[in-house]
């Protein structure tokens, strides 16, 4: 430890103190970049660590498969598959609930527990209550989120329609399992906690209810560590297909896990892209501040060199300046990042049901963000510092050569009569230092760009909602049957009270293969003139369902690397399991998932079946929706009903809070960049031109006129920078949307004019505030002092 | 001591300072730069102010020109009181009525000679054309040059042109030739002399060069913050005739 500061260090501290405003402005920008990195990486590792621990501790399975009805004896064959460790068969069924005080149809996924004890895989973490008694026919454990949303506690009862019979179930415990971190009812994209729950029940009761004595319809298994799942899946499919297996899948396709993965992917993208913009801006600012400082200190540098200080000592001196500012920013960024992480983790805890999801400090995030911040600061400072070190003492001690204003093409503009001199001065200044103007331009544009590139997600959300609930899915309710059935069921549904129109659909699991690519999907059969489930082309126009072949979503076509006219091998994983070569006859634009569509009649023909449906889309009479809700529950054979109004409501409720928090964060950080850039530019301009501006004051120019000359340049930069930033923001939106797209959903890039306006507004307001801080100083220019000294 | 010139027409009085004092306080130290100065400037006269370094010349000029405020005393311009003028009023005074020429030119580097002049004419009420002002200082040919492309003497003449272009009633020059050699200095003085004669602009010129006193109507000498002597040359010489 050095006990006494060297004179150079004292000078450094004085410089820092003197330039504290600028140092703080840069520090804030560094802090924002670091904070976002700390927040994103920290949340990422929190999410990963907690889910991994949860998976491990409660034995989340590796492979999952559904089957129509398989004899229990099959489990031995599954156990014999190479690499398989543990196999657990079970019964899983979707049922309709009747909840007190809730008119909308609610669903539950019932998962069987072994008749005695706990399950071996996907074990339950019990928060309160107990396990159902062995073989108990009506005791259940319910999922935590559902219990919370419906205020249910052990001891309460609820009613479920199980195989057409209304049964009263007794809640004895509340728990969760790693299978349902993100619990979605089939076909949904957002958890609707009060309308969808997971129930665990003893198997005996379910075998009886669903006619599955000595049989199972679902199996999960683990593989030995390091085992590839693909060959295991293949063999599981071989074993199960004769019994109506619908294709096994591993964790990547397991819905809950896939959502957790996609969230982590978003955090990773955020940590990569957004802080980079901040650090780039701060590096540029540090560069311009140091350049200016060195310009003012030329003579001192000459003197110091004449005293015998080495180049390296001078370079290091100025680098220390950059390091000092950045270190401050990094530390503030840690604090700010922890705050953000705490907020985000709270939000996540609502959505991702992971026990002990509490935020933790991620050492790696701290190290990596400090390195990134310091690295970019040093990169920004280096050329300026080296420039200082290279000055020869003699050269440095003579005044800097006068700037020669060359007029060039600018002359034509400047000759215009109507320009007043202050404006001419502004223009000439703007173009005198093109590099600096470009840097300021970049700074302003970057602020707008970041705002547009982040705020667009809210526009995208609107587009998604519009697409999902109005443009493509224009039905008011969707009904799923337990099993595919004859399409006379549609006529029965149409006769229910409140139903204006009913269209049958059929969902069939399938594996589509093209060359060496293969995807497990679900093919949806739609009637030819379906008006309740419509298809859109890439340019947002409605297209008709082709009579033959497959209409693939663009994402699926991408994954299979096929386009219209190509053939794909289609293995239907249901019924007689036909295999067919089908042409791709349309590519459709879908937001959610990677669906494929087929003409319903063609699908039935392919499966060699009479007109068959697995569900229906309904249009309801809004006045009689309640009647419909009442009567549909009574219908046998229906496993699920989802209402558009309920989904939209819960969608909006879930998003609302998140949106305001995120908007606030983005607005603050975008504004911080703009303010930092403008404050710095104005301060540098003031230092550089203080003398000139004071002279103008002497000549009788008012404070405001001088302020105009000082800030006109920045106003000009902002005027040009904002539209550039808007364009850049749209590009950034595309980049982010592409980086964040997963097989689960895609973020459509829509940027509304209001978002552009909002971004521009934030940047304008924060720049103006920063500029006014500097203009205040014009008042305190010392008019007399400047007249005493030679420039 | 009474420094006002004898005059039968009191309306000829342009600027009157009475009992002007200025004390600078920096920390513990206070410096009394002006210790009671009475000064009157008549319309159209050219006054030279001499005095040793530190005697308070610039301080006086700055107060008379509305750049600084006196600690005590009064100031009247055309009968209007400026003693208690606020910042905006002083700015208006400088803008409407006053021109300045300083030792270090103080041109705006980013503007050409002509633009430097029109910078001021744009905010003036009845200015001359910038080119006209530059003609007066013999720079008609160099209007498109930037300060960096002009010699010191030329820059100073641009400063003079800039100062006179708005037809100020009074021109304050603080060591206008201080940074120049004798030949260039004389050209600047010629420009000032011409302006004084042709436009009847009142002038107060500070200098260390006693010889320059010979172009004046009146010479004041300062010492220790007071005016200690006033002389009137018998004959006002042309700048070319003085001994530098
Ligand atoms: N801003 C200031 N703060 C403190 N003291 C000052 C200030 N300005 C001037 N002085 C002091 O006031 C006195 C008069 O200064 P002034 O600049 O008026 O002298 P001057 O006669 O113009 O000298 P020179 O011929 O060297 O220009 C000096 O002692 C000077 O140190
Ligand atoms: Mg002086």
Report residues near ion ligand 2: CB below 5 Å: B 58
- Asked whether A778 and A683 are in contact (CB, 8 A), the reply is no
Q: Using CA atoms, how far apart are residues B26 and A782, in angstroms rounded to an integer?
A: 15
Pick the range with the lowest mean pLDDT from A391-400, A472-481, A680-689, B223-232. Answer: A391-400
What's the pLDDT at A187?
Answer: 66
**Would residue B226 be called left, alpha or beta, if left means φ above 0 and alpha means ψ between -120 and 50 degrees?**
beta
- Smallest Cβ–Cβ distance between B123 and the set A402, A700, A789 belongs to A700
Judge whether residue A305 has pLDDT over 80. Answer: no
Question: Confidence class of residue A788 from pLDDT cuts 50, 70 and 90?
Answer: low
Instruction: List, for residues A696-739, the tens digit of each pLDDT value.
Output: 888 888 888 888 888 888 899 999 999 999 999 999 999 888 88
Q: What percent of chain A lies above the pLDDT cut of 90? A: 43
Q: Using CA atoms, how far apart are residues A746 and A415, in angstroms rounded to an integer?
A: 53
Instruction: List, for residues A519-566, the tens digit of each pLDDT value.
Output: 888 999 999 888 899 999 888 889 888 999 999 999 999 999 999 999
Pick the range with the lowest mean pLDDT from A61-75, A435-449, A492-506, A772-786. Answer: A772-786
CA distance B16 to chain A (A): 21
Check B94 against A700: CB less than 8 A apart. Answer: yes
Check B119 against A422: CB less than 8 A apart. Answer: yes
Instruction: List, for residues A141-175, the tens digit of each pLDDT value.
Output: 999 999 999 999 999 999 998 877 889 999 999 99
Mean pLDDT of B51-60: 93
Per the structure block, which two tokens stand in for A616?
């229906």
Q: Is B105 contained in some domain?
A: yes
Distances (CA, A) of A716 to A680, A743, A757, A778: 16, 44, 18, 20
Torsion over CA of A36, A42, A46 and A47, rounded to 10 degrees?
40
Question: Confidence class of residue B11 from pLDDT cuts 50, 70 and 90?
Answer: low
Q: SS3 for A441?
A: helix
Q: Which residues of A touch B87 (CB under 8 A)?
A: 703, 779
Judge whether residue A753 has pLDDT over 60. Answer: yes
Residue in B103, B110, B125 to test binding to A, most A beta-carbons within 10 Å = B110
What's the pLDDT at A790?
Answer: 60
Q: Is B164 contained in some domain?
A: yes
CA B54 to ligand 1 centroid distance, Å: 5
Check A701 against B106: CB less than 8 A apart. Answer: no
Check A405 against B115: CB less than 8 A apart. Answer: no
Q: Which residues of B touch A699 (CB under 8 A)?
A: 94-95, 100, 119-120, 162
Minimum CA distance residue for ligand 1 atom 7? B24
CA distance A693 to chain B (A): 9
- The larger pLDDT score, comparing residue A8 to residue A195, is at A195
Q: Which residues of B touch A692 (CB under 8 A)?
A: 108-110
Q: Using CA atoms, how far apart are residues A683 and A706, in angstroms rounded to an integer?
A: 14
Mean pLDDT of A635-650: 81
Judge whether residue A416 has pLDDT over 70. Answer: no
Instruction: List, for residues B107-125, the tens digit of each pLDDT value.
Output: 887 788 988 898 888 888 8
Chain A contacts to B (CB-CB under 8 A): 402-405, 420-422, 424-425, 428-429, 432, 691-692, 695-703, 705, 779, 783-784, 786-791
Question: Confidence class of residue A652 from pLDDT cuts 50, 70 and 90?
Answer: confident
Residue in A427, A699, A785 to test binding to B, most B beta-carbons within 10 Å = A699
Judge whether residue A371 has pLDDT over 90. Answer: yes
Q: Which residues of B touch A424 (CB under 8 A)?
A: 111, 115
Q: Which residues of B touch A428 (CB under 8 A)?
A: 110-111
What's the pLDDT at A405?
Answer: 59
Q: Output the CA angle B134-B137-B140, nearest 5 degrees.
A: 40
Question: Confidence class of residue A373 from pLDDT cuts 50, 70 and 90?
Answer: very high
Q: Using CA atoms, how far apart are residues B174 and A79, in angstroms rounded to an integer?
A: 103
Q: How many domains does chain B have?
A: 1
- Smallest Cβ–Cβ distance between A425 and the set B98, B111, B179 belongs to B111
Check A692 against B174: CB less than 8 A apart. Answer: no
Instruction: List, for residues B219-240, the tens digit of each pLDDT value.
Output: 999 999 999 999 998 888 998 8
What's the pLDDT at B15?
Answer: 96
Q: Which atom of ligand 1 is nearest to the CA of B222?
A: 21
Check A425 against B119: CB less than 8 A apart. Answer: yes
Per the structure block, which two tokens stand in for A44?
């990422």
Pick the range with the lowest mean pLDDT from A207-211, A361-365, B7-11, B163-167. Answer: B7-11
Between residues 84 and 123 of chain B, which touch chain A (CB distance below 8 Å)?
A: 87-88, 91-92, 94-96, 98, 100, 102-104, 106, 108-111, 115, 118-120, 122-123
- Smallest Cβ–Cβ distance between A425 and the set B88, B108, B174 belongs to B108
Q: Using CA atoms, how far apart are residues A322 and A611, in angstroms rounded to an integer?
A: 74
Q: Is B151 contained in some domain?
A: yes
What's the pLDDT at A454?
Answer: 85
- The larger pLDDT score, comparing residue A693 to residue A91, is at A91
Judge whether residue A415 has pLDDT over 80. Answer: no
Query: In this structure, what DSSP letter does residue B146 have?
Result: -
- Smallest Cβ–Cβ distance between B118 and the set A421, A705, A791 belongs to A421
Q: Which domain holds residue B177?
A: 44-67+94-241
Mean of all residue pLDDT scores within chain A: 87
CA A695 to ligand 1 centroid distance, Å: 19
Q: SS3 for A72?
A: coil
Q: Which atom of ligand 1 is nearest to the CA of B225?
A: 14
Q: Using CA atoms, how far apart are residues A349 and A49, in angstroms rounded to an integer?
A: 14
Check B108 against A787: CB less than 8 A apart. Answer: no
Instruction: List, for residues A610-627, the tens digit of each pLDDT value.
Output: 889 999 999 999 898 888
Question: Domain extents for chain A?
Answer: 499-620
Q: Which residues of A touch B94 (CB under 8 A)?
A: 698-700
Q: Is B72 on the interface with A (CB under 8 A)?
A: no
What's the pLDDT at B8?
Answer: 46
- Asked whether A325 and A680 are in contact (CB, 8 A), the reply is no
Q: What percent of chain A lies above the pLDDT cut of 70? A: 95
CA B210 to ligand 2 centroid distance, Å: 15
Find, in chain A, the residue whose alpha carbon is nearest to that of B120: A699
By CB atoms closer than 10 A (0-12, 13-18, 19+), residue A505 is buried
Q: Using CA atoms, how far apart are residues A729 and A459, in angstroms rounded to an integer?
A: 13
Q: SS3 for A95?
A: strand
Q: Using CA atoms, how far apart are residues A95 and A93, in angstroms rounded to an integer?
A: 6
- Smallest Cβ–Cβ distance between A791 and the set B96, B104, B119 belongs to B104
Per the structure block, which two tokens stand in for A418?
């109507």
Ligand nearest to the CA of B54: 1
State the CB neighbour count (10 A cutoff) for residue A253.
17
Q: Is B24 contained in some domain?
A: no
What's the pLDDT at B234?
Answer: 86
What's the pLDDT at A426?
Answer: 82
Q: Domain of B197: which CATH number?
A: 3.40.50.300
By CB atoms closer than 10 A (0-12, 13-18, 19+), residue A393 is middle
Check A425 against B91: CB less than 8 A apart. Answer: no
Q: Which residues of A touch B120 (CB under 8 A)?
A: 699-700
Judge whether residue B2 has pLDDT over 50. Answer: no
Instruction: List, for residues A222-272, the tens digit of each pLDDT value.
Output: 999 999 999 999 999 999 989 988 889 999 989 899 989 988 888 888 888
What's the pLDDT at B73?
Answer: 95
Check A695 against B108: CB less than 8 A apart. Answer: yes
CA distance B169 to chain A (A): 14
- Asked whether A388 and A296 are in contact (CB, 8 A), the reply is no
Judge whether residue A53 has pLDDT over 70. Answer: yes
Q: Which residues of A touch B106 (CB under 8 A)?
A: 691, 695, 698, 786-787
All residues at 6 or more sequence positions from B22 whose CB lies less than 8 Å from its CB, including other chains = B32, B33, B34, B56, B59, B63, B68, B70, B71, B225
């Amino acid at each position: 430890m050095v006990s006494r500061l060297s004179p150079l260090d004292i000078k450094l501290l004085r410089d820092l103190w003197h330039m504290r405003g600028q140092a703080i402005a840069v520090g804030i920008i560094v802090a924002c970049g670091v904070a976002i990195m700390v927040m994103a990486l920290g949340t990422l590792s929190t999410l990963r660590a907690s889910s991994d621990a949860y998976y491990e501790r409660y034995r989340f399975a590796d492979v999952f498969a559904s089957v129509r009805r398989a004899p229990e004896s099959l489990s031995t064959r599954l156990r014999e598959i190479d690499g398989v460790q543990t196999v657990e068969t079970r019964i899983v069924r979707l049922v309709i609930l009747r909840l007190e005080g809730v008119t909308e149809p609610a669903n539950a996924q019932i998962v069987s527990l072994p008749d005695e004890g706990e399950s071996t895989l996907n074990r339950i973490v019990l928060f309160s209550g107990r396990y159902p008694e062995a073989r108990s026919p009506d005791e259940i454990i319910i999922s935590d989120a559902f219990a919370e949303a419906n205020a249910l506690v052990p001891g309460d009862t609820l009613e479920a329609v199980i195989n057409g019979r209304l049964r009263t179930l007794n809640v004895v415990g509340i728990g969760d399992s790693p299978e349902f971190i993100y619990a979605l009812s089939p076909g949904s994209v957002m958890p609707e906690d009060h309308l969808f729950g997971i129930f665990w029940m003893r198997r005996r009761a379910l075998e009886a209810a669903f006619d599955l004595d000595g049989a199972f319809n679902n199996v999960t298994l683990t593989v030995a560590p390091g085992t590839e799942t693909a060959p295991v899946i293949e063999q599981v499919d071989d074993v199960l297909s004769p019994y109506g297996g619908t294709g096994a899948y591993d964790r990547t396709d397991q819905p809950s896990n896939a959502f957790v993965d996609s969230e982590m992917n978003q955090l990773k993208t955020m940590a990569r892209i957004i802080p980079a913009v901040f650090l780039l801006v701060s590096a540029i600012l540090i560069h311009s501040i140091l350049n200016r400082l060195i310009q003012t200190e030329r003579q001192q540098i000459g003197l110091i060199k004449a005293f015998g200080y080495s180049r390296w000592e001078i370079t290091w001196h100025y680098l220390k300046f950059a390091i000092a500012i950045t270190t401050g920013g990094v530390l503030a960024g840690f604090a700010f990042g922890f705050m953000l992480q705490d907020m985000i983790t709270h939000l996540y805890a609502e959505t991702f049901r992971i026990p002990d999801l509490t935020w933790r400090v991620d050492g790696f995030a701290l190290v990596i963000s400090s390195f990134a911040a310091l690295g970019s600061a040093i990169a920004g400072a280096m050329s300026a510092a080296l420039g200082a070190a290279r000055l020869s003492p003699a050269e440095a001690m003579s005044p800097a050569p006068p700037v020669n204003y060359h007029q060039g093409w600018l002359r034509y503009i400047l000759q215009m009569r109507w320009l007043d001199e202050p404006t001419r001065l502004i223009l000439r200044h703007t173009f005198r230092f093109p590099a600096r103007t470009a840097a300021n331009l970049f700074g302003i544009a970057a602020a707008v760009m970041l705002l547009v590139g982040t705020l667009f997600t809210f526009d995208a959300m609107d587009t998604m909602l519009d697409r999902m609930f109005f443009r493509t899915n224009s039905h008011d309710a969707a009904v799923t049957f337990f099993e595919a059935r004859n399409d006379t069921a549609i006529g029965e549904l149409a006769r229910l009270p409140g139903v204006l129109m009913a269209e049958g659909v059929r969902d069939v699991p399938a594996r589509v293969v093209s060359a060496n690519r293969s995807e497990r999907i679900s093919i949806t059969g739609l009637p030819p003139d379906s008006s309740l489930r419509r298809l859109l082309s890439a340019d947002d126009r409605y297209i008709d369902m082709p009579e033959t072949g497959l209409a693939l979503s663009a994402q699926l076509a991408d994954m299979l690397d096929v386009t219209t006219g190509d053939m794909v091998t289609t293995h239907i994983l249901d019924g007689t399991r036909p295999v067919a070569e089908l042409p791709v006859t349309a590519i459709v634009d879908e937001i959610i998932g990677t669906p494929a569509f087929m003409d319903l009649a063609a699908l039935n023909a392919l499966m060699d079946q009479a007109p068959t449906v697995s569900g229906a889309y309904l249009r309801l009479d809004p006045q009689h929706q309640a009647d419909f809700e009442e009567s549909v529950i009574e219908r046998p054979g229906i496993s699920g009903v989802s209402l558009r109004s309920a989904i939209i409501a819960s969608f909006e409720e879930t998003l609302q809070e998140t949106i305001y928090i995120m908007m606030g964060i983005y607005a603050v950080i975008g504004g911080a960049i703009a303010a930092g850039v403008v404050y710095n530019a104005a301060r540098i301009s003031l230092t550089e031109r203080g003398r000139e501006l004071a002279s103008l004051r002497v000549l009788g120019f008012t404070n405001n006129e001088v302020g105009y000359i000082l800030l006109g340049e920045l106003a000009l930069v902002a005027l040009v920078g904002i539209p550039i930033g808007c364009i850049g923001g749209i590009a950034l939106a595309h980049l982010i949307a592409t980086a964040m797209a997963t097989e689960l959903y895609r973020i459509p890039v829509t940027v509304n004019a209001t978002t552009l306006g909002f971004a521009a507004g934030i940047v304008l307001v924060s720049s103006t505030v920063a500029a006014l801080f500097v203009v205040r100083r014009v008042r305190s220019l010392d008019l007399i002092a400047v007249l005493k000294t030679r420039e | 001591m009474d420094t006002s010139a004898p005059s039968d027409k009191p309306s000829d009085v342009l600027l009157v300072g009475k009992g002007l004092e200025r004390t600078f306080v920096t920390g513990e130290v206070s410096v009394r730069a002006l210790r009671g100065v009475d000064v009157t400037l008549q319309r159209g006269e050219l006054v030279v102010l001499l005095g040793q370094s530190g005697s308070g010349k610039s301080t006086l000029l700055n107060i008379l020109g509305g750049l600084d405020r006196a600690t005590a005393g009064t100031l009247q311009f055309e009968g209007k009181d400026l003693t208690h003028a606020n910042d905006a009023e002083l700015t208006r005074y400088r803008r409407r009525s006053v021109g300045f020429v300083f030792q270090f030119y103080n041109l705006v580097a980013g503007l050409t000679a002509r633009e430097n002049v029109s910078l001021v004419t744009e905010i003036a009420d009845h200015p001359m054309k910038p080119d006209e002002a530059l003609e007066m200082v013999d720079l008609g040919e160099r209007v498109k040059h930037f300060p960096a492309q002009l010699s010191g003497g030329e820059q100073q003449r641009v400063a003079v042109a800039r100062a006179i272009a708005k037809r100020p009633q009074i021109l304050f020059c603080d060591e206008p030739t201080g940074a120049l050699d004798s030949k260039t200095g004389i050209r600047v003085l010629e420009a000032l002399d011409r302006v004084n004669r042709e436009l009847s602009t009142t002038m107060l010129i500070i200098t260390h060069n006693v010889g320059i006193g010979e172009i004046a109507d009146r010479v004041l000498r300062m010492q220790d913050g007071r005016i200690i002597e006033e002389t009137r040359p018998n004959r006002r010489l042309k700048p070319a005739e003085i001994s530098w």
